[in-house]
Structures are given as structure tokens and as C-alpha cells.
């Protein structure tokens, strides 16, 4: 297990506070929306608060960002004071306070429609560091497949990735990598190299995954990448408050040598499903969120900044890597939001050089890297979204509360699309031939921490051309969704394999025997755009991992006390 995260509060606590009876509720009624035109503030709850056109724009400067936040606070305080006066007047008149009463407004002001901004809430009981298997399934402990990534420029020790990557040519963080004839292993805060050959394994080198003089207390070293003769270790330190990037040299003989450690100011990037890093050529791509409060004394203090570690390192050594002019303003302003930051660092320079691009939005998130862009899907936390309880349904019938951002890897301007539902994790995405396909369920909270492990709900496939992404947050057409069969259980797993998307789930242990016949894997030929192309395959075990092997797949799951592998 990678890291076990336990929140100091639960959605049931929030439900109790909000006087509701359930953490999972139904969406508001859908308004008729023309997918070809911008949406105004009346079309759904996640529309721009000012009623204007939802256009993607950046802050002009640090002063502009500060003034924007002060204005949000002023407007929120004015609204709250007006509602307090209304409530007091109602009490004096002996009338009942309505649903917009004083207490309800204060809860809304405290938590915000865009979510709690959980990035700064610590994780408790992490387990034992990186572990041997990476969490919940489909994102880790990967197999070698017959389709290796496209080769990168060869270096003295360059090796093809042994990670069963999602996108050819883009390596992903993992805990085991290859460098020539050596395996590089990240385990419990240490790096090991092992020579492979001659029918035997031979240990070669061992070093700490953290630098000399750095205390590992309160730190979690989660993943690594190998770029030519450089090993990059990614970790998060609660002791020092930020992401750690450790750089190590590895020679042809497998010897490891510590080079440097850099601290990136951020909140915890941890996801129970996704790795935070990708390697595109010699560029390290890193996603890290940060909670963002408009009431903060210094909003700039939350922006990503980088410093090189030394024994005398101080907070003043941090240098900003995200200029406010590269932060997109929130389309749905709120007092509490999340700053979603994508940082790109060059690994070909003597010193680590990084720049970031950021956007402010909802706290629920899933991040995916294609061969051309970084995608960040943001969605409001479902338990904080007021709903009527009358209109649960598939994403095709839901209001478009989510925003999907596209940040091109070539550095060109970001674009956005407004959509309904939420993806399960990064494996819900597939970009190919000028289109983006995303498997979505009717509600979800992204894959941060352990949020992806909830019960399965209605499933659809969203398919849009890349030209649908513009600076205007147009809504994906209802015709862009194809409703698909649901599967019972929880912790939905999904993966695009060849021309199909596969998905399945696992049943509660108490329900496994009586519902054994309900176990199934759904395979859908996504390019067909017809729900008739979905095929349900009966399984005698849960679906806990789906791994592509060329154009076929291996499905792994539990059957009682046994682990079962099914070829598809």
C-alpha cells in the first residue's frame, strides 16, 4: 500500500452539520443549454457568480490577484450581513427563517460551494511509506507490456520504461524503474539498485531517498523517475511543508550518488490512484494542488516556489515559479478554492529550472497527461453541492458543474470545456486522433486522497473533439455523451485498451456471495458512439486492476481469499 489517508472529518459529519440525511444526494434539475454558445449564470449552480460570460482569463499581476480576493471577501460579507438582517427581521416578526437562514449561510460561507480546499488538510495514519503495491489498483504495480513507449534520446544509461504507461512516450512515476541492466527500487525512504543478468540478481548500491542533513520525519517518498542518468525521487514533507524533489546520479555500473534536493512549496499532491509526475523527454511534469482562501492575509504565500536545500536554507530562499499572470481566474468564484498548479522542470540543466501554470477552481480534481497537453478536470465536492433529491441520473441528464482545463505542453494558452459528471481517475481519459474520450460517472469528487473509492453510479462516455476546447467555457453537448451499463459495487476501475474502454468494480465483502452473479466487466468500443457496442462479461471475481497487454488486457481481482487473473 502506498499511503493510507484518513481524514480528520467525514462527509457524514458534514451531512450532519448541514441537517441532511445522506452524503450522496441527487443533482439539481438540468436547464436547457445550447452546447455551441457560452452559458450564463442561470443555467446551473456552477455558473459564474457575476452572471457574465464564463471566459478563461488570467490575472494581470499580483496586485490584480490581491484586489480580486478582497473583492470576493467584500461581496461575501455584504451578502452574509444582508441575510443576517433578513433572519433577524424574520425572528422579530415571529416568522420562520427560510432555507437561506443565518446558520445555513454561515455554513455556506465557511465551506464554500467550490469545496473545502482540502489540499492543506493533513493525512493521518499513512501506513509504511511507499510500500510494495501502490494503493487501490489500476494505477500501479505495473506490468511490462509488448508496446513499449516511443524511444527518448539515448544517453549513456538511457533505458525504455518498464512501467506499463498510459501514454506511449510519457513515463510515469513508479517505485521500480530500469536503468540499463539495473533495476532501481524506491522502498521505505531508500533507493536500491539491483543488477539483472546471468540468471541472478545482485544488489549494487543503496542510498537514502533524502539528502544529507535532511530529516525524513514526517516525509513520504512516494515515486521516482529515471531520465537518462538522473534518478528523480518525489516526496512530500509535512515537517517542512512542501513537495521534495531529490536528484541522484546513476552510472553504468548502477552506483547511486546524491546530487541535490529541491523543495517546492505546495500542498500534498497525494492521490490513491494517480502518480503526481510524468516525464516528457527531459521535462519533468508535476501536478500539485494548494487550498486557497480569499481571506488569507497574503494570497501570494500559497503560490508555488522553489528553493535548493542546504543546511542553512530558510523560507527567504524560496523563489517563485508561478507568476500571477499565469494563473487563470476562477470561472466560479468562491471564498475557498483550490489552486491547481502544473509545474514543468528541465532535467537537462545543471540546476533545476521550473515554471508553473495555475488555475483556481473547484477542489475535486483528476489530472491526466497526453502526448500534447496536461488536462485538469475540476469538480465541486458532491457532499457540499446542494441538490433537490428528485433527479438523480446519468451524466447526460445532470447540470454541467465541472470544468475541464487543457494546458498544452508547448506552452500555448490554456483552454476549457464545461461538462457534467466526473471521471474516476486518470485512466478515465484517452486522447487520440484529435478527440478526447473521458469515462464519467454522475457524481464524484476526483481522485485526490482516497476519493475515487466510492460506490459506483451511472456511467457515460464523453467524447469531444479537441477543437471544443476554447477560451470560452462552452458546455459539452448532450450528444457528446453515451450512456453505458452500470456495474454494482464500489471502487470502480477503468482503462482504455486498444479500441475499447473497460470498467468494473468490487463488491462489499458481505455482499460478494449472494451477488456473485452480478460481478462483471463492461467492454465498450468507444469509437462506435453506440451503447449497443457495450458488452458485459461475467466474472467470478472482483475487478481491482485492469492492465493493458498490447491490444488485450489482464483483469485482476479477489475471489474470497484468492487473487484471480482473467485475460480479456
Determine the pLDDT at residue 114: 36
* pLDDT of 99 over the 60 cut: no
Once rounded to an integer, what is the mean pLDDT over residues 168-178? Answer: 93
pLDDT tier at 272 (50, 70, 90 boundaries)? confident
Asked whether the predicted pLDDT for residue 443 surpasses 70, the reply is yes
DSSP state of 143: P
Distance (Å, whole) CA 430 – CA 370: 8
Q: What is the pLDDT of residue 484?
A: 93
Contacts of 436 (CB under 8 A, 6+ apart): 370, 375, 429, 430, 462, 463, 464, 465, 466
The pLDDT value recorded for residue 95 is 60
pLDDT for res 553: 95
Averaged pLDDT for residues 246-272: 93
Q: Which pLDDT score, from 0 to 100, does residue 398 have?
A: 64
Provide mean pLDDT across the span 365-383. 87
Give the pairing type, strands 353-361 and 327-328.
parallel
Mean pLDDT of 133-154: 33
Say if residue 274's pLDDT is above 60.
yes
Residue 149 reports pLDDT greater than 60: no
Query: What's residue 390's pLDDT?
Result: 40
**CA dihedral sign of residues 166, 172, 175, 177:** positive
SS3 at position 13: helix
Residue 556 binned pLDDT confidence (cut-offs 50, 70, 90)? very high
Per-residue pLDDT at 455 = 74
Task: Identify whether the C-beta of residue 539 lies closer than 8 Å to the C-beta of residue 519.
Answer: yes
Average the pLDDT over each of 52-56, 84-88, 116-120, 196-200 and give the range with the smallest value.
Answer: 116-120
**CA neighbor of 202 nearest in space, from 213, 193, 210:** 193
Of 513 and 459, the one with more pLDDT: 459
> Of 499, 502, 400, 378, which Cα lies nearest the Cα of 446?
378
pLDDT at 518 over 60: yes
pLDDT at 370 over 50: yes
pLDDT digits (tens, 9 = 90+) for 524-536: 998 777 767 899 9
What was the pLDDT predicted at 393? 55
- Say whether pLDDT at 23 is over 70: no
The pLDDT-based confidence of 417 (bands split at 50, 70, 90) is very high
Query: Who wins on pLDDT, 257 or 379?
Result: 257
- Looking at per-residue confidence, does 17 or 355 come out higher? 355
Q: What is the pLDDT of residue 510?
A: 54
Evaluate if residue 3 carries a pLDDT over 60: no
User: Lowest-pLDDT range, 29-33, 64-68, 227-231, 270-274?
Assistant: 29-33
pLDDT at 130 over 90: no
In whole angstroms, what is the distance from residue 383 CA to residue 402 CA? Answer: 15
The 8-class DSSP code of residue 457 comes to: -
Other CB atoms within a 10 A radius of the CB of residue 315 amount to: 11
Above 80 in pLDDT, residue 555? yes
**Three-state secondary-structure class, residue 523:** strand
Percent of the chain with pLDDT over 70: 73
The predicted structure's pLDDT at residue 396: 59
Contact 233, 246 (CB under 8 A): yes
The stretch 508-519 carries a mean pLDDT of: 58
> What is the average pLDDT across 389-397?
53
**Of the given ranges (81-85, 339-343, 357-361, 444-448), which has the lowest mean pLDDT?**
444-448
**43-57, 298-312, 440-454, 522-536: which range is least confident on average?**
43-57
Average pLDDT, the chain: 77
Residues contacting residue 42 through CB under 8 Å, at least 6 positions apart: 31, 51
Closest to 234 measured CA to CA, from 182, 174, 178, 310: 174
The band of 253, judged by pLDDT with boundaries at 50, 70 and 90, is very high
Check residue 508 and give its pLDDT. 67
Across 34-48, 163-177, 481-495, least confident range: 34-48
Residues 69, 294: contact at Cβ < 8 Å?
A: yes
Non-local CB neighbours of 280 within 8 Å, separated by 6+ positions: 169, 170, 369, 409
- Which range in 88-92, 116-120, 275-279 is most confidently predicted, on average pLDDT? 275-279
Could you tell me the three cell numbers for 9?
A: 472529518
Cell of 146: 509488448
Segment 175-222, tens digit of pLDDT: 999 999 999 999 999 999 999 988 899 999 999 999 898 888 889 999
Greater confidence (457 vs 398) lies with: 457
Give CA–CA dist 159/172, Å, rounded: 14
Q: Tell me how far apart the alpha carbons of residues 499 and 381 are, in angstroms, rounded to a whole number.
A: 32
Reported as a pLDDT band with limits 50, 70 and 90, residue 442 is confident
Amino acid at each position: 500500500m502506498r499511503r493510507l489517508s484518513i481524514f480528520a472529518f467525514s462527509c457524514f459529519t458534514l451531512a450532519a452539520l448541514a441537517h441532511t440525511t445522506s452524503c450522496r444526494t441527487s443533482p439539481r434539475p438540468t436547464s436547457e443549454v445550447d452546447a455551441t454558445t457560452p452559458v450564463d449564470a442561470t443555467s446551473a449552480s456552477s455558473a459564474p457568480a457575476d452572471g457574465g460570460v464564463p471566459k478563461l482569463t488570467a490575472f494581470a499581476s499580483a496586485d490584480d490577484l490581491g484586489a480580486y480576493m478582497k473583492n470576493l471577501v467584500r461581496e461575501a460579507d455584504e451578502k452574509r450581513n444582508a441575510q443576517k438582517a433578513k433572519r433577524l427581521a424574520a425572528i422579530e416578526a415571529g416568522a420562520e427563517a427560510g432555507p437561506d437562514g443565518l446558520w445555513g449561510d454561515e455554513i455556506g460561507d465557511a465551506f464554500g460551494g467550490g469545496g473545502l480546499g482540502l489540499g492543506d488538510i493533513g493525512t493521518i495514519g499513512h501506513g509504511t511509506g511507499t510500500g510494495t503495491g501502490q494503493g487501490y489498483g489500476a494505477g500501479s504495480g505495473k506490468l511490462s507490456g509488448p508496446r513499449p513507449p516511443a524511444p527518448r534520446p539515448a544517453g549513456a544509461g538511457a533505458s525504455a520504461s518498464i512501467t506499463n504507461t498510459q501514454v506511449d512516450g510519457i513515463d510515469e512515476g513508479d517505485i521500480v524503474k530500469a536503468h540499463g541492466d539495473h533495476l532501481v527500487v524506491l522502498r521505505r525512504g531508500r533507493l536500491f539498485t539491483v543488477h539483472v543478468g546471468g540468471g541472478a540478481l545482485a544488489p549494487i548500491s543503496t542510498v537514502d531517498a533524502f539528502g544529507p542533513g535532511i530529516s525524513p520525519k514526517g516525509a513520504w517518498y512516494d515515486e521516482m523517475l529515471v531520465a537518462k542518468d538522473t534518478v528523480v525521487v518525489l516526496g512530500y514533507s509535512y515537517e517542512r511543508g512542501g513537495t521534495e524533489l531529490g536528484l541522484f546520479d546513476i552510472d553504468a555500473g548502477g552506483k547511486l550518488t546524491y546530487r541535490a534536493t529541491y523543495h517546492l512549496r505546495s500542498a500534498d499532491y497525494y492521490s490513491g490512484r494517480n502518480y503526481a509526475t510524468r516525464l516528457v523527454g527531459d521535462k519533468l511534469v508535476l501536478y500539485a494542488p494548494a487550498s486557497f482562501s480569499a481571506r488569507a492575509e497574503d494570497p501570494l504565500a500559497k503560490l508555488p516556489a522553489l528553493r535548493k536545500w542546504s543546511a542553512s536554507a530558510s523560507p527567504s530562499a524560496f523563489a517563485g515559479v508561478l507568476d500571477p499572470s499565469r494563473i487563470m481566474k476562477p470561472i466560479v468564484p468562491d471564498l475557498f478554492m483550490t489552486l491547481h498548479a502544473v509545474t514543468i522542470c528541465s532535467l537537462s540543466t545543471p540546476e533545476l529550472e521550473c515554471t508553473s501554470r495555475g488555475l483556481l477552481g473547484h477542489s475535486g480534481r483528476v489530472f491526466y497527461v497526453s502526448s500534447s497537453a496536461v488536462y485538469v478536470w475540476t469538480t465541486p465536492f458532491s457532499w457540499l453541492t446542494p441538490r433537490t433529491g428528485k433527479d438523480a441520473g446519468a451524466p447526460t441528464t445532470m447540470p454541467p458543474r465541472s470544468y475541464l482545463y487543457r494546458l498544452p505542453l508547448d506552452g500555448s494558452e490554456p483552454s476549457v470545456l464545461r461538462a457534467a459528471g466526473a471521471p474516476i481517475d486518470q485512466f478515465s481519459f484517452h486522447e487520440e486522433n484529435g478527440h478526447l474520450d473521458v469515462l464519467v460517472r454522475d457524481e464524484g469528487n476526483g481522485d485526490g486522497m482516497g476519493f475515487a473509492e466510492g460506490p459506483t453510479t451511472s456511467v457515460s462516455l464523453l467524447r469531444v473533439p479537441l477543437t471544443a476546447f476554447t477560451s470560452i467555457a462552452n458546455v459539452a453537448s448532450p450528444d457528446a455523451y453515451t450512456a453505458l451499463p452500470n456495474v454494482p459495487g464500489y471502487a470502480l476501475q477503468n482503462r482504455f485498451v486498444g479500441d475499447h474502454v473497460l470498467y468494473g468494480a468490487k463488491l462489499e465483502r458481505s455482499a460478494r456471495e449472494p451477488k456473485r452473479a452480478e460481478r462483471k466487466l463492461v467492454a465498450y468500443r468507444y469509437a462506435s458512439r453506440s451503447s449497443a457496442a457495450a458488452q458485459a462479461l461475467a466474472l467470478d471475481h472482483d475487478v481491482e486492476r485492469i492492465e493493458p497487454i498490447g491490444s488485450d488486457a489482464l483483469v485482476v481481482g479477489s475471489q474470497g481469499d484468492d487473487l484471480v487473473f482473467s485475460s480479456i
